[in-house]
Amino acid sequence: MAILEVRNLNIDYISVKGVDYSISDINFKLEESKAIGIIGESGCGKSTIAKCILNILPQNVYTQGEVLLDGVNILNISEKEMENIRGSQISMIFQEPMQALNPIRRIKNQFYDLLYTYKKINGKVKTHNLIVSRLEDVNLKDIDKILNSYPFELSGGMAQRVMIAMALIKNPRVLIADEPTSSIDAINRKEILNEIKNLKDLSVVIISHNLSEVYDMCDEILVMKDGVVVEQGYTKDIFQNPNHEYTKLLLQNEGISKKSYEKRVSC
Amino acid sequence: MENSECLSNKKEDNLNNIKVNSHKLAKINKLRNQYRFKNMLFIIGVVLVTLIVIICVGAPLISPNDPLKVDLGKAFLNSTNKYPLGTDQMGRCILSRILYGGRTSIFIALLSLSLTVTIGTFIGILSAVSPKIVDSFFMGICEITLAFPGILLAIVIVGFLGPSIVNVMVAISFVSWAKYARVSRNLVLSIRESGFIKAAKVCGTSNLNIIRYHIIPNIFSTILTIMVTDIGSTILRLATLSFIGLGAQHPTPEWGVMINEAREYIDYAPNMIVYPIIMIFLTVASFNLIGDSLRDRYDGDTY
C-alpha cells in the first residue's frame, strides 16, 4: 500500500473578490522508498501542495479532497494530532536554508528544542549522540563547531545539510523537499541531491522547477502549469515521449533530448 | 608569523592595510566619531544609573541620619556637617530622605514596569496566537485603554482604589500594558510568518515550544529596549502621582512627596525642592540615555 496518497486534491486561495487562484485535481501515490517529482514554473502551486500535505497553509485557503497517510485522511484531523505527524511521519525541507534556521539560537539548541520530549525521556548524552549521528549521515564534518555556531556562521550548503538533518531527526517516513537546492551553487547542489537520494527507506517528494535536477532521482513525475497537472507518469516515459506542449518546451529549454537522456541513464 | 602580525594590526585599526582616499577617510572618521559619541552617552548612562542604584540600595549604610526623625528645633537648616543638604520644615535630613526616597521611587517603578511588561507581552502573544475573535477582543480593550491619556486614567483609577503606593503601581500597570500588548502582538504576527517558524513546525516542534523557544527569544530584545526606554517615564509618572498626593503617603520618603511638601516653602527654602528635582532629572535622563543607545543598537541603525 502506498504510504502517501493524494486523491482529487483541490486547493483554492479565496479572498473577498472570490477565488484568487486554484489548484485542481491533484492525484498521486507515493510508494515506500520511492521518489516523486513535482515540476513546474514558479507560482504554479507546487509548494502549496507540499504545505497542504503538512497542513500549514494560511487561513484563507479552502481545500477539498483527501491526503491519505497509511489510508487515514490527514486533511481534517486536529492540530494536536497533526503535531504528532509532522516531523515523525512527514517532514519537509525548504528552499532557503538560511531563513529556515532561527537566527538568534545556536544550532545545538535548535536541535534540542526539536527533541524536547526525547531529551526528557532519554537524557542529554543520548540526545547529543543522536544529533551527531544524523549530522554525520548528511556528510558534515567538524560537527562540534557546527553545533556551537549560529546560522549566519554557516555556508549555504552547510545550513541546508543541517536543515536536512533536522528534518530527518525524528525518523520520518516521507520527506518533502521543496526546491532544496535552489539557493545553492552547482557543486553543493549535486552533493545534496545525492545525499537525499542515498537516504535509505525514505519516500521522497521532490519539488523543483528544474527538470535536470529530478532527472535521475524520481520514479514518477508530475508536470504542473497554472495549477493543473498537465502530464503525469513514469520519468522514463515522460522524458522519452513528452505529450504535452509545455513538457516539450521544458525539455527543449533545458537542452534535454531523448538521446541525452538515454546516454545519461545508460552511464 | 607575518600573517598573525597582519591580523593583530587589523584588530587595532582596520584601515592600516587598506588604501583609502581622503574622501573615504573623512567619511569613515565621521562615522567613527558618531559611534564614539553614542557609545560615550551609553557609558555615561550606565555609570550614572549604577551610581544612583548603589547609593539608593545602600541608603541605610550611607545616609547620615534617620529620614523619618522629626526635630522641629532644626527645621530649615542650611547645609551643615551633620545635615549635608540641610533639613526640611520638620527638621528631617534632606540627604537621607533623598537616598531613601530613591529606593522607593526606583524600586516601585521597576516593579510596576515588570508587571506591565509581563501582562502586556503575555496578552500580546496570547492574542496573536488565538483565534480571531479572541484577538479582536483583546485588541479592542487595548484600543480603549490607549484612547485615554495615561496619567488621567491613572488618576481616575487611584481615585477609585484610594491613594497608596500599591494602588499607584496597579494604576500605572493598567494604563501602560496596552502598548506592550500591541507591540508584542505585531512582532509575533510578523515573526510567525518567517521561514524558521514554518521549518520548526514541519520538523515536529509543538506549538508551545515554538512560542517558548522561537517566538519569545526573538521578540525579547525589542521588548527589553522599549522597557528600558520606559523606566524614565515610569519614574516620572510615579513622582507625578505622588506629587498630587495619590501615591506614597506623607511620612514615607519619596521624591514626588518631597517636592510636594517643599512646594510651599519654595521662596524660603529652595534647597528643599531643588535636590529631589535634580535626582529625578538625573535618574530619568540616565535611564533614557541607556534606552536610546539600546534602541539605536537593536533597531539596526547604522552609525
Among A91, A94, A166, select the one facing B195 at the smallest CB separation.
A94
- Give how far the C-alpha of residue B252 lies from the chain's centroid of Cα atoms, to the nearest Å: 22
- B22 falls within a domain: no
- This complex has an ipTM of 0.83
- Probe site for chain B from A113, A168, A183 (most B CB atoms < 10 A): A113
Measured in angstroms, the CA of A259 and the nearest CA of chain B are apart by 40
Q: Taking a contact as any Cβ pair under 8 Å apart, which residues of chain A between 165 and 194 contact chain B?
A: 166-167, 169-170
Q: Which pLDDT tens digits describe chain B residue by residue (303 residues)?
A: 444 444 444 444 555 556 667 788 888 889 899 889 989 999 999 999 999 999 999 988 988 888 888 888 888 888 888 888 888 888 899 999 999 999 888 999 999 999 999 999 999 999 999 889 999 999 999 999 999 888 899 999 999 999 988 999 999 999 999 999 999 999 999 998 888 998 998 888 888 889 999 999 999 888 988 999 899 999 999 999 999 988 888 888 899 999 999 998 988 888 889 999 999 999 999 999 999 888 887 765 444
Q: Do A91 and B205 touch (CB under 8 A)?
A: no
- B134 falls within a domain: yes
Q: What is the pLDDT of residue B6?
A: 46
Among A99, A104, A167, select the one facing B195 at the smallest CB separation.
A99
Residues 6+ away with beta carbon under 8 Å from A113: A105, B200, B205, B209, B213, B214
Q: Tell me phi and psi for residue A46, to 5 degrees.
A: -65, -50
Collect all residues of chain B within an 8 Å Cβ-Cβ radius of residue A102: 196, 200, 213-214, 217-218
Enter the DSSP assignment of A76.
S
Q: CA nearest A74: which of A61, A62, A89, A60?
A: A89
- H helices of B203-270, in order, are 207-209, 216-243, 255-262
Residue-range definition of the domain harbouring residue B55: 48-63+79-298
**Residue B211 · residue B228 · CB < 8 Å:** no
Q: What is the pLDDT of residue A137?
A: 83
Residue of A nearest to B203 (CA): A87
Among B196, B205, B217, select the one facing A101 at the smallest CB separation.
B196
* CA dist., res. B278 & res. B281, Å (int): 5
> Please, what are the averages of pLDDT over each run of 10 residues along chain A (267 residues)?
89 88 90 89 88 88 90 88 89 87 90 88 91 88 92 88 89 89 78 79 86 80 90 87 86 70 61
Q: Tell me phi and psi for residue A219, to 5 degrees.
A: -90, -30
**Residue A95 · residue A180 · CB < 8 Å:** yes
Q: What is the pLDDT of residue B47?
A: 96
The contact set of B with A (CB < 8 A) is 194-196, 198-207, 209, 213-214, 217-218
Question: Residue written as cell 502621582?
Answer: B241
Q: Which residue spans within B238-287 are E strands per DSSP?
A: none
List the CATH number of the domain containing B111.
1.10.3720.10
Q: What angle do CA A54, A59, A62 make, to 5 degrees?
A: 80
Measured in angstroms, the CA of A79 and the nearest CA of chain B are apart by 9
**Residue B67 · residue B97 · CB < 8 Å:** yes
**Residue B168 · residue B174 · CB < 8 Å:** no
Residue of A nearest to B215 (CA): A102
Q: Do A83 and B196 touch (CB under 8 A)?
A: no
Question: Cβ of A101 under 8 Å from any chain B Cβ?
Answer: yes
Q: Give CA torsion, residues B28, B31, B32, B38, to 10 deg.
A: 180
Q: What is the pLDDT of residue B15?
A: 56
Among A90, A94, A104, select the one facing B199 at the smallest CB separation.
A94
- Give how far the C-alpha of residue B20 lies from the chain's centroid of Cα atoms, to the nearest Å: 42
- B267 falls within a domain: yes
Q: What is the pLDDT of residue B302?
A: 41
Residue of B nearest to A178 (CA): B199
Among B194, B202, B217, select the one facing A86 at the smallest CB separation.
B202
Q: Do A56 and B201 touch (CB under 8 A)?
A: yes
**Residue B238 · residue B108 · CB < 8 Å:** yes
Return the number of CB contacts < 8 Å for A and B: 73
Measured in angstroms, the CA of B189 and the nearest CA of chain A are apart by 13
Stated pTM of the model:
0.79
Q: What is the pLDDT of residue B303?
A: 41
Integer CA distances (angstroms), A58 to A15, A54, A99, A170, in order: 12, 12, 19, 25
Query: A203-208 and A35-40: which strand pairing?
Result: parallel
CATH assignment of A78-266?
3.40.50.300
Q: Do A102 and B206 touch (CB under 8 A)?
A: no
* CA dist., res. B204 & res. A165, Å (int): 13
Number of domains in chain B: 1
Domain spans of chain A, in order of start? 78-266
